Structure 1
Amino acid sequence: MNAHRVDCVGALVYDDQRRLLVVRRANEPSRGLWSLPGGRVEPGEDDPTAVAREVAEETGLVVEVGALVGEVEREGPKGQLYVIRDYEALAVSGELKAGDDASDAKFVSRDEFDNLPTATLLASTLAQWNALPG
């Protein structure tokens, strides 16, 4: 049986010290773990629109969406397959505050990132993409 594909996006947002924007997930999957801001692509949205919307909803930041960094697949509940495309994004305005399905949001250094409970395979995937915080 083929898994039901669910298109998702994520954002790699860095500040001027190359700290990475992460959110603590308030809902499943990975509730309580830290991950990149992102979520499902809604009907009628292209990826950049979805990235900008998700970042704004979860962190309060307005971003300009850049290049695709990479794509991963993660098994979800009920036979779903999350296909997640992560994009570079630059925060251009807004005030950092957790919202929507994020219980916290912050920029983290490499040391801080290494000590956070992060979503499955996040650290290894970012390492493969040379996208870990500075």
Structure 2
Amino acid sequence: MEPERVDCVGALVYDEQRRLLVVRRANEPGRGLWSLPGGRVEPGEDDPAAVAREVAEETGLEVVVGDLVGEVEREGPRNRLYVIRDYQAQAVGGSLTAGDDASDARFVSREEFENLPTTTLLASTLAQWNALPG
């Protein structure tokens, strides 16, 4: 049986020191692991709107969404296939505070990122896209 495709988005947000914005997941899948802010695209939403909403919900930051960086597929529970499109985004307002389904949110350096427990294949995918923190 074909898996149900679930459209999702993520955001690559960097600060002036090229530290990367990451969130610790408060819910499954990946509870307790660090990942990019993001989530499901809601019905009637386009990707940029979904990126901006998810970043605001999870981190308190307002962003302007830029170009598509890449797309990955991840198998999920109950015969779901998560199709995740990650976009560049720039913080333009708000204040950093974890919310919604994030238990923590912060900007991290390359060294800090490499020492965090991250979601499956996040580090290798970001490396392939030349998108690791500076």
TM range (shorter): over 0.9
> Which residue matches 2:5?
5
Residue 24 (structure 2) pairs with residue 17 (structure 1) = no
Structure 2 Cα separation of the partners of residues 5 and 31 of structure 1: 21
Q: Which amino acid aligns with 1:15?
A: D
TM-fit CA distance, 1:20: 0.0
Q: TM-score, normalised by structure 2?
A: 1.00
The one-character-per-residue Cα deviations of 1:20-67 (angstroms, maximum 9, x if unpaired) are 000000000000000000000000000000000000000000000000
Unaligned runs of 5+ in 1: none
TM-fit CA distance, 1:19: 0.1
Q: Percent identity?
A: 84
Q: RMSD across aligned C-alpha pairs, in angstroms?
A: 0.2
SS in 2 for 1:65: strand
> Which residue matches 2:68?
68
> Which residue matches 2:27?
27
Structure 1 Cα separation of the partners of residues 5 and 28 of structure 2: 17
State the aligned residue count.
134
> Which residue matches 1:48?
48
4+ runs of 1 displaced by more than 6 Å? none
